Structure 1
């Protein structure tokens, strides 16, 4: 096969091989004494995909070229749409539990400001970042947050570079964290499963899948509740979280940066 079909066919063949390999490994549970870490096929697929990504490891270019890597990036938003739609169908059957948890679902959006409290001081005072710190720390920088930065500053700006850096890091590392941490925290007996389910909805499809996958593997009888609350949380993050980022988080980060590094103001 020649022409424009070679790239897509090679990419799909590689993806199919990764999926088959990951599913063959299956779910693995690791006991750490203080809790249990659940390793899911999505983790293996991420690790293998990184290994064959020529933009990450140059020798992988023998398998896939940079062109296929770029195509894979464009396909993410397309592939994630059916997944998000599927999660949306879980909200209705669990509407009673969602209404009951209503105040908690709304209040959790305040957590979107947590990136400023924790990451901003590190970015500005420890890493000595310039205006990149604004884009990097005002949110967790998923797609809606990137859109805000692109509209206000442009992605070729220092703020855009900071946002894109966190976006790429979150895509590569965030999925691992969201798959491992929730079941480990649940094993400590500190948080209710409903709270952990709501924590899955941070506005990222891959993180949502990893988080809910690990929790439902741990508590299969609570699968519908977990998926319903996680989906509702994710919807709220896209809706209210977007406005919180635009009207509160970004102006607050700008103000803090002006106080911390006045010499770098426009």
Structure 2
């Protein structure tokens, strides 16, 4: 197997196959769940709006594919009680993972403690669910602000650092990915995971993020337990690589 094919196979196993479109329907969710079972193995998870968690739970029964959903999404400034209620309901409905947007406008204003507090409270409300903190790195002014976001999320107990919502002009980039991975490395707990999201379009993109993660964290670190790719269209490209088919045109959006 070529290096690119090996990367494609690993990327599928680490993929959070995503539909966070505003017009998403139950039929779209069932189609997403069907796509998550591929001839080359299952994706790690599907990621969808909270209202669709029960649909996904039914569609994925027995598959081992995890269900991720989003809270405080996408702006990061919802009422805290509403965010906690939504988290609790999502977990009751069957969510395994909570991708939560940090209140990054407050972080930009210097209130890092608000970020840590919200992560901590969502962890408690999630009652054992995996908590991925979305830093929205494309909205943070500079590397120091990104590092502050990483520290605040980690101080709150985030299980994963995630770059982006996919809903702003600049999403995952190699530069932001390196900052998040260095923060995880320097934190000293290699079980904390990393998820680039938005802008992962091609097999080469996926391979490059895998290689970057392993460069910073150590060979073999990137597994579904510690590394996820947040994307919707890249699965088509990964399957084309494994099937020796022509690569599709890079999809727009997430």
The reply to whether TM is greater than 0.5 is: no
**Which has the bigger relative contact order, CA under 8 A and spacing at least 6?**
1
TM-score normalised over the length of structure 1: 0.28
More strand by share: 2
TM-score normalised over the length of structure 2: 0.29
